[in-house]
Amino acid sequence: MTVGKYVLFVLIPLALQTSLFPHLSLFGVIPNLVLVTTICYGLLQGIRPGLYFGLLAGLCLDLASSGILGINITILGLLGFGTGYLERLVFKGYLVIPLCTVLAGTVIAELFSYTILLAFGWRLGFLSFLGATLLPLCLYNLVLTAPVYFGLKKGLDLLDKRRLKVGA
């Protein structure tokens, strides 16, 4: 596994998430494209690559945002590891598993962030957080899951074919 592959698949979603999607907000939220990509990458590549990808993606997202450093590193690393564990158990052609894991991952990540922000003294009402942030974000992330999953799958297949061609 080369570092270039990680950087390629992290920087493109990060650039889209920080530059394009703020202009395409849905119900006042922007999708977490890096989270969706991390979950899909873990499902396609396995435990160790999913963990490394999640840690790198979380670091890049933390550095690109103005939030508390470490929240995204922790949650994306854990989600990359957890979905990487599922890689051996699922058939990669079906979309149901990525949809379910992105939904669960979004809920887990947002509840984790909510808890950390509360611990640091932020005052956020849970019901307003649920209705104004979590539910629209779940919907937006689910809409993006299919193109991200199948695009990532195609990109990884092309890179593997290219690597085999160069190695032969």
Residue 72 CB contacts under 8 Å (≥ 6 apart), including other chains: 34, 57, 58, 59, 61, 62, 65
Q: Which CATH class is domain 3-22+29-167?
A: mainly alpha
pLDDT reported for residue 33: 95
The answer to whether the CB of 138 falls within 8 A of the CB of 29 is no
Could you say which residues of the chain have pLDDT below 70?
1-2, 167-168
